[in-house]
Amino acid sequence: MSQKKRHEVKGTCPQCACGSIYHLTAEEIEAKTIDKENVELTCPECAHVHQEQIKAVCPEFAKECHL
């Protein structure tokens, strides 16, 4: 059984300024994608839901998907 590749997604909450790192598969990132450019993240500290540009928070995924 092969493991799916995980991408490092780094986000900063605009509500509490908490920096968080997520390790998500391509499918998980796509499920959180609002449109082709933004992804929805939930802060692990204050639970604030916010949007970040995929290119900014996960350049590796953006490069692989030609965003």
pLDDT score of 64: 82
With a pLDDT cut of 90, the percent of the chain lying above it is 75
pLDDT score of 4: 86
Q: Is residue 13 part of a domain?
A: yes
Query: Is the distance from CB of 24 to CB of 7 less than 8 angstroms?
Result: yes
Mean pLDDT computed over every residue of the chain: 90
Domain that holds residue 52: 6-64
**What's the whole-model pTM score?**
0.81
Q: Is residue 57 part of a domain?
A: yes
pLDDT score of 57: 94
Strands (E), the chain: 6-12, 19-25, 38-42, 49-53
Q: What is the pLDDT of residues 5-36, one digit of tens each?
A: 999 999 999 999 999 999 999 999 999 998 98
For the chain, what is the domain count? 1
pLDDT score of 2: 64
CA distance linking residue 32 with residue 44, whole number of Å: 15
Q: Is residue 10 part of a domain?
A: yes
Q: Is residue 1 part of a domain?
A: no
